[in-house]
Amino acid sequence: MSTTAGDPAPLPEPVALVTGAAGGIGAAVARTLARQGMAVAAADAAAEPLSSLVKEVTEAGGTARAYVLDVSRSADVEETVSRVEDELGPIGVLANVAGVLRPGPALSLSDEDWTATFAVNTTGVFHVSRAVGKRMAVRRAGAIVTVASNAASVPRSQMAAYGASKAAATSFTKTLGLELAEYGVRCNVVAPGSTDTPMLRGLWHDEAGEQGTLRGDMAAYRVGIPLGKLAAPQDVADAVVFLLSSAASHITMHDLYVDGGAALGR
């Protein structure tokens, strides 16, 4: 694929699998990849919003197909990845975006809260990355990006399960990158901070929630956002797509923070 100055960097293969594609960051990633000419396999457990996303992409001239998928179910993941490759072709890039948040004090979390959080945020990343990665290794090409969180390395009050699950997903993705490097497959992490999505807004109790996020909360040992604004889902999607593209062809095992400075450059 040839490019001219100002064109986006080309992506390695024409098929992308995006989990968590029904909304928020995942939907922004799916839209962006489709605009760049990729056939997007959009996967999510939420069937109705997933269908709406695929309709939006196709009406805009892109190529997308919906795959209803619970990433915590290993057999379902393997079957879905096989279907994607049968129906659309070899998966060239994978974006692990599916995630859940169960906030609460660490000592008040139930077993189900902990298990459900890890089932999607960590085990789901393992299931999908394993199914796709082994195919990429055979083809000796591909790129994987896991969307984690700055909470993976900076303790956040009320986010014990979320932060721990994202830390585990981050470590897994970097180790996978080390193991797949000899096959030419790159694996990276994007770590967003507060992003304007339904997940974030669900944490706010009133109209002061946004300003509280921007300013920080010293009582909870949380700094604000130095840039003074929330990330838009597209801000995070742009970072994901960059790491999937040939512009990042010599980057692997990297953890890119997209948080407006909230982690103070950690």
- Catalytically active residues, by annotation: 162
Q: Taking CA 18 as the corner, what is the angle to CA 21 and CA 188, rounded to the nearest 5 degrees?
A: 125
Cα R_g (the chain), whole angstroms = 18
Looking only at the bridges linking them, the beta strands covering 222-223 and 216-217 are antiparallel
CA atoms within 13 A on the CB side of 64: 30
Token duo for residue 178: 């080390």
Q: How far apart (Å, rounded) are the C-alpha atoms in residues 13 and 38?
A: 8
Reported as type and span, the H/E element at residue 39 is: strand 39-44
Q: Helix, strand or coil for residue 203? A: coil
